[in-house]
Structure formats: C-alpha cells, structure tokens
Homo-oligomer: A and B are copies of this chain.
Amino acid sequence: MPKKIITMDDVARLANVSKPTVSRALGGHPNVKPKTREKVLAVAREHGYSVNRNAKKLREKYTNTIAVILDFSSHRKHRITDPFIFELLAGVSEALSIRNQDLLLSPPTLSDANSYKELINSRVVDGFIFLGQGSNDAMFRELAKQGVPFVVWGGNSGDANYCTVGSDNFLGGYLAGERFVQHQKRNILFVGNTEHTELRLRREGLEKALATADYEYRLDEVQGHDFSFNAHYQSMMELLSKQDAPDAIFAYSDTAAMAIINALNEHGLEPIKNYLLVGYNDIAQASHFSPRLTTIRQDTFLAGALLVEKFMAVLNDNAPISSTIPTDLIVRST
C-alpha cells in the first residue's frame, strides 16, 4: 500500500529507463522495445502508478472533459419534476465514458455566454453539451459565433449556426394531430410554451396534421408558467373554469400530461371517454401511470450517443449537421 505518490520519474528510475521511455511505454507509442515496455508496465502496476492528469492536461491540447449543462432554471429547488432530462443525462454519461471523456456536471449557477467562455479559457473543459434548449437560441448563436465547441439537445429552426440533436419535433406534433383527426376531435388544446424552438416545431406539426381534417375544429394554447407539476395543474383548472373542456390535448411532456389528467379527473372528465391526450418523451413512468399514457417516444441512449458524436465532430472543426432521432407515437390508454 504505497502512501507516497509515485511520479513518472520514480517509475523511470525503478525500471532503469528514462522518463520519456516510460511516457512512450504507457502511451502505447510504437517505437519502444516490447521487453522495455513490459518492464515499465510491470513496475508501474506494482507501485500503483497513474499519470497525473493535470500535468497531462497542462501539456496537451485537450482536457478530455466535457461539461454537461442541465437546464436547472426549469428544475429548480424543490420543483424538479421531469425525469426525462435525467434519462437523457444517463444516455450522455454512457456515451462519454465509451469515448473516455470525463463528464463535468455544470454548476446550476452557470447561465450566460461569458461563464461558458471562462470555463473554456481556464482549460477545464473542451466544450459543452446542453441538455435543453429553452429559449436560449440567441445565446447559442452568440456562443457559436465565438467558436465555443458545443451541441444542444433541442429543435433545429433551420437557420441555426449551431448543431442540435433532438426529437423530430415537427413529426411528433404531426403524429399527435393525425391521431386527433382520425378520432374526429374538434376542440384541441396545445400545452407548451412556443417560445421554445422545440415546442414551436411541434405546434407547427400539429397544425399541419389538423389541416387535413375535413371538418371544423378549434386550436387553443396554454403555456404553463414553468415546468413544475403544480403550475400545469393550475393553468388547466383555470382554463376549465373559462371555457369548454377540450376533447384532445397535446402536452409537451409526460409530466405535464400527468398533471393535466389529474386536473381533468377532478372535473369528472376521463381519457378516451371524454378526451384524447398525447404526451411527450415516454419517460419510464408513462407506461405505469394510471391511465397508461399515450405519448411520443424518444430513445435517450441513442440521443446521448448522437450528441457525443456530433460534439466530437464540432471539436474537430467539422461542422456536423443537426439531426433528429426516430420519433414514434406510442398509443396506450389516453
């Protein structure tokens, strides 16, 4: 049990070689005699040597560390409600570890373009993976203009100068709308803040599908004040006190969907019987909620892999194109 920390110099001395030889042996450099390499590796293992990664980072171009930014502003304090973002985080974590990249989880306080630049300048991370786009499109454009390497989980407005990976939001919206039209729904409610690029795309898809209806219909919108469960519950209750209950609802997340169902329950309204509801994300809980949620599915592990792949491309100055992952409607009991 060596308490003393071993350096490369120590290993060199113990193996009767020079320091650079140790470096080469450990780094898998071709020009080193097999016998020498074995010797070095043996000594290193025996003494529990590992390279000082800070020294390494100081010397090399990349830190092999990537910051992942959760949208903590919508998951604040005691209002953390949507498990989807964490499923995404798990996907990214797995994908990064496959590429031997460290994952620095962003401090919740990080928010503006400058603090991100600062993290790059201080050589803590090579770049960023933003999980959630929110209404930060402008900041992302600025960041991209400044050459900060990053990718975003979110929607692609088409003319963005940065790379996104996301659900096919337009298609997701379309699929929901298609279902509504098939069931001849006429009083449709869209729940979500269309300032978020993703949600705007979904609404556009929804409208496109609804336009195929050969009957009259009405489309309303509720924004929800934030991402918390209670906020949705309340705006739903408000709406119901003002107008007729919708017979079809497209919610921007499964979490929101659950809140909405509870609110409608209290008004004696039941899914299928009184209304159709489509959620989004197919979080683990969606299939076990009661009623089982009809929703739009996304593969979060594929998402993670794609995000990391694109990020690496950005880092290497290729300009990868944004892309979407398969997006399917999962019909259950709503």
Contacts and interface: CB of A to CB of B under 8 A. Distances in A.
Interface of A: 1, 3, 5, 48-55, 57-58, 63, 68, 72, 75, 77-81, 83, 86-87, 89-90, 93-94, 96-97, 102-105, 107-109, 117-118, 121-124, 146-147, 229, 233, 255, 258-259, 261-262, 265, 284-285, 288-290, 301
A98 to B, nearest CB: 9
A308 B285 CA distance: 30
Contacts of A79: 284
Nearest to A51: B122
Q: Which 4 pairs, one residue from A and one from B, show the smallest C-beta to C-beta distance?
A: A97-B107, A54-B57, A86-B86, A50-B122
A284 B80 contact: yes
Given A80-B83, A255-B285, A285-B285, 5 more contacts: A3-B147, A52-B123, A54-B124, A58-B58, A80-B284
Given A83-B83, A117-B48, A123 B258 contact: no
A279 to B, nearest CB: 14
A103 B104 contact: yes
A53 B86 contact: no
A107 B96 contact: yes
Contacts of A288: 229, 233, 258-259, 262
Contacts of A229: 284, 288
Nearest to A145: B1
A121 B124 CA distance: 19
A45 to B, nearest CB: 11
B259 A68 contact: no
Contacts of A75: 90
